[in-house]
Chain A
Amino acid sequence: MRNTAAILKRELVSYFITPVAYVFIVIFLLLTGFLTFAKDTGALYERGQADLAPFFRWHPWLYLFLIPAISMRLWAEERRGGTIELLMTLPLRMRDAVLGKFLAAWAFVGIGLVLTFPVWITVNYLGDPDNGVILAGYLGSFLMAGAYLAVGSAMSAFTRNQVIAFVLSVSTLLVFLLAGYGSVLEFFSGWAPLWLTDAVASFGFLTHFEAIMRGVIDLRDLVFFLAMMAFWLFVTALAVDWRKAR
């Protein structure tokens, strides 16, 4: 616990002493802002509805590129710089290291998410939105970001090359994103048995995210994201151990 906290702190500080943090946060804010308010993409004003659906709708797609950009360095950098040798000879469990690094990245994305609060203020100023639904949206977005990060963390553990880690992460995430996409499901439902279509849909990020985003907090959706994180962090630990010397 103390070790996890020490690693979390070290990692989180290192986001802010390098430009990574500022670039990420600025880009994230600019893109969410643009996509939410622009006429063709979000049209928050023009819709005349007081909610943040146009805002959250873009998160899965923004995360598709932004999250791998954060996670790609998690382990690849450690291996490239040889510091993994320091880390793995310290008296800590693999779990402490994997979790500490992941939680730091997740907390960092959380900070980015919190900084989108002007969008929330805007809708509250313009109308009378259901803030419960908005809160659920934030929760869903945060959980989804965690799942994305866990996938990215595993990919980063497989290679010492950050570009490869990025590409692997984007590809894997795309699969999970598209699995919940309407047209992909239609493609399956045309010929596949119902259970297969359901299985594919149940692994899609979108299905679960959209459910939470609507304000329906179903335990199954929460469990899905948490299980996703647990699974990919487990894969991360295995991969780090397996690949550390190479």
Chain B
Amino acid sequence: MIELQNLVKRFGNLTAVDGVSFTVQRGEVLGFLGPNGAGKSTTMKMVTGFLAPTSGRVSVCGHDLAVEPIPAKRRIGYLPEGAPLYGDMTPRAFLRFMAEIRAIPREQRAARIGEVVAKTHLDEVLEQPIETLSKGFKRRVGLAQAIVHDPEVLVLDEPTDGLDPNQKHEVRQLIRAMAPHKAIVLSTHILEEVEAVCTRAMIIARGRVVFDGTPEELLAKSRRHNAVCVTLRAAVAAQARVELARLPGVAEVVDLAPGDGTARLLVLPARGHSILLEVGQQARSRNWEVLGLEQERGRLDEVFRELTRGSERGLRAEVAA
């Protein structure tokens, strides 16, 4: 339903978005990740028709935004970065205005507004000027506005920024509940959010897509993916380190910060290997007293850093941290 072809946006000399292409189908929730200034918001502004791309094409539900902006925009709900709103209006008046422009028939407006107000938990602040609302409530008004016309395509720029943990949870549930009927693109700096709500993760850095896959695939890129952390008596640590490193499928063993009389070894697998069994067997056959043995899923922040900085150096320090 959303289709981007080789999208480029230049601001003077700066290329903010540099050849981004992807399509999002109904039922997909695409999570946009990337460091500050990567071009996430700029891409979203082009998808929603706020900015015209320097080159490339965007189409929404088959309508090219450069040719038929109005039918395309009708099908989009958009929460811009920072959730800008008309501060002098109350949420009720604001939502009424949006519902009117969104061509919701007059007799259905009140019901629709009631629905989104319930979904975003706005009832207590409906009559308070928006500029006096707390940040989280403003964000929720922005969200309510984006879904008031039940659009087929949702573009949400940092929808959970500024929300408390309960609200974050609520909003994620809301997004998951809407997901089957819509194509959703959201950006976030919270990596766990991608795992929690997205069916697909995309990392962009310096305007280019550096990763596009499922959140699981993203996790699998972590060096710690399927790594095994063993806690042993300090006495056998040195021996264990050498022997574990020799096991097939093991890439490296890292000594984590030792505790009192114990040592924690992180056994990193070679890519694509699972080594839990081997590590356990080795420990048993050597009669090491194992105080803890756990398999890790991998760390998104580590993958994120690796992909966006492309640096191998410092990984050891990060793993140890």
Contact = CB atoms under 8 A, between A and B. Distances in A.
A245 B50 contact: yes
A92 interface: yes
Contact of A81 (B70, B84, B100, B102): B84
B70 A93 contact: yes
Contacts of B103: 2, 91
B84 A86 contact: yes
The number of chain A residues touching the other chain, given as a range, is 20 to 34
B48 interface: yes
A18 to B, nearest CB: 5
Contact of B85 (A6, A9, A13, A83): A83
Interface residues of B, number: 29
Given A3-B101, A10-B97, A82-B80, A89 B48 contact: yes
Nearest to A80: B84
A92 B156 CA distance: 20
Nearest to B47: A89
A34 B86 CA distance: 36
B80 A18 contact: no
A221 to B, nearest CB: 36
A6 B51 contact: no
Interface in B250-298: none
A10 B86 contact: yes
A91 B80 contact: no
B234 interface: no
Contacts of B88: 14, 17-18
Contacts of A2: 100, 103
Contact of A91 (B45, B70, B86): B70
A210 B96 CA distance: 44
B207 interface: no
Interface string A104-136: 000000000000000000000000000000000
Contact of A89 (B71, B78, B93, B129): B78
B73 interface: yes
A27 B210 CA distance: 60
Contact of A86 (B51, B80, B100): B80
A6 B101 contact: yes
Interface in B60-82: 69-71, 73-74, 76, 78, 80, 82
Interface string A126-164: 000000000000000000000000000000000000000
B86 A89 contact: no
B82 A82 contact: yes
A90 interface: yes
B76 A89 contact: yes
A14 B82 contact: no
A199 interface: no
A9 B86 CA distance: 14
A18 B88 CA distance: 7
Interface string A57-100: 00000000000000000000000011101101111110000000
A156 B200 CA distance: 42
Interface of A: 2-3, 6-7, 9-10, 13-14, 17-18, 81-83, 85-86, 88-93, 244-245
27 contacts: A6-B101, A7-B101, A13-B93, A14-B89, A81-B84, A83-B85, A85-B45, A85-B50, A85-B80, A85-B84, A86-B80, A88-B50, A89-B48, A89-B49, A89-B76, A89-B78, A90-B73, A90-B98, A90-B101, A90-B102, A91-B69, A91-B74, A91-B102, A92-B70, A244-B50, A245-B45, A245-B51
